[in-house]
Amino acid sequence: MAVDEGLFGPRTVTWQLHGDPTMWIAGICSLFLQALHPRAVAAVVQNSRFQQDPIGRLRRTSDFVGVATYGTTDKAAAAAERVRHVHRALSASDPRTGERIRLDDPDLLLWVHCAEVATFAEVVRRAGFPLTDAQHDRYLDEQRRSAELVGLDPQRVPGSRGEVADYFRRVRPELARTDESEVVFRFLHHPLRARRWRPLNLGYLPIGRLAYSLLPNWAHDLHGRTPLPESATTAGARAFRAAGKAVPDRLRYRFPSGHVLRAVERLGEGAFPSARSLAEL
């Protein structure tokens, strides 16, 4: 009987890239970018408890990416159905016009998807992950499967670097710094608000600063904050990746949800994500 590799499997760029330790920084960076869409960020701020439960919110997001990448086909489909159910049930109000915002609006889902996967690939690559241009395009094409999970038509989802760049050029006139984007900006720099956790913010602060600095320059301009120098940003990303890679695989992939380890149990030791495996794709 054939073993279920899930939506992607070890012979995809997605499988290898999403296992890189720099994905932690890339995930935070993508949230800075997503916050620049006024309607999308209004929907998040009005419906999410991320300020009261920051660790839980970040874990749920990483858990969805993990199960979509490394889980079985059935588990990925079940996780996607839960996300679609939430999106169907919730709405928000546009603070500028008062109009109702549907969380399952395809335009908003497309923005979140593109901001996320474009950031993942760019940040991990900048940190030293050996991604070629062709593999970069292949990753974006593979990620159309993730877009379909949340309810998008994969045919209208950008599937290459050129298509993603064209999409961002089209959408940039809609992007802006808003009161809601400021809420997210402050949260991503100081997420642990409870008094007992505040000392940990001192340790997290360089991570938030680095993640922000990894945004494209036009996003820095919209947020209105100066990033770290480019050389320091690249060095910081590479140092973060090196530190993560120094942790043994079976320990590193145990957190936060163990999806990689369960995939290895299902598929064998060769299923551990590795940049070296890219050469075989």
Residue extents of the structural domains in the chain? 13-280
Grouping H, G, I as helix, E, B as strand and the rest as coil, residue 147 is: helix
pLDDT tens for each residue of 90-101 = 788 888 888 998
Burial of 181 (0-12, 13-18, 19+ CB in 10 A): buried
Is 15 in contact with 70 (CB distance < 8 Å)?
A: yes
Is the C-alpha dihedral spanning 204, 207, 213, 219 positive or negative?
A: negative
Range scoring the smallest mean pLDDT among 20-34, 158-172, 249-263:
249-263
Long-range contacts of 216-219, Cβ-Cβ distance < 8 Å, separation of 24 or more:
216/33, 216/122, 218/172, 219/32, 219/33, 219/36
Quote the CA–CA distance of 224 and 176 in Å, as a whole number: 10
- At 100 the three-state DSSP class reads strand
Higher-confidence position of 159 and 275 = 159
Share of the chain above pLDDT 70, in %: 92
Closest CA to 62 of 266, 273, 259, 262: 259
Tell me, rounded to whole angstroms, the distance of Cα 276 from its chain centroid: 22
Task: Compute the mean pLDDT over every residue in the chain, rounded to the nearest whole number.
Answer: 91
Q: What's the pLDDT tens digit per position in 186-196?
A: 988 887 665 65
Task: Give the model's confidence band at 226: pLDDT under 50 very low, under 70 low, under 90 confident, else very high.
Answer: very high
- pLDDT tens for each residue of 156-177: 999 999 999 999 999 999 999 9
pLDDT at 54 over 60: no
Instruction: Give the pLDDT band (50/70/90) at residue 199.
Output: low
Per-residue pLDDT, 52: 60
pLDDT of residue 204: 76
Look at residue 252 in the predicted model and tell me its pLDDT: 92
Return the minimum-mean-pLDDT range out of 40-44, 135-139, 193-197, 247-251.
193-197
pLDDT > 60? residue 197: no
Segment 62-78, tens digit of pLDDT? 889 999 999 999 999 99
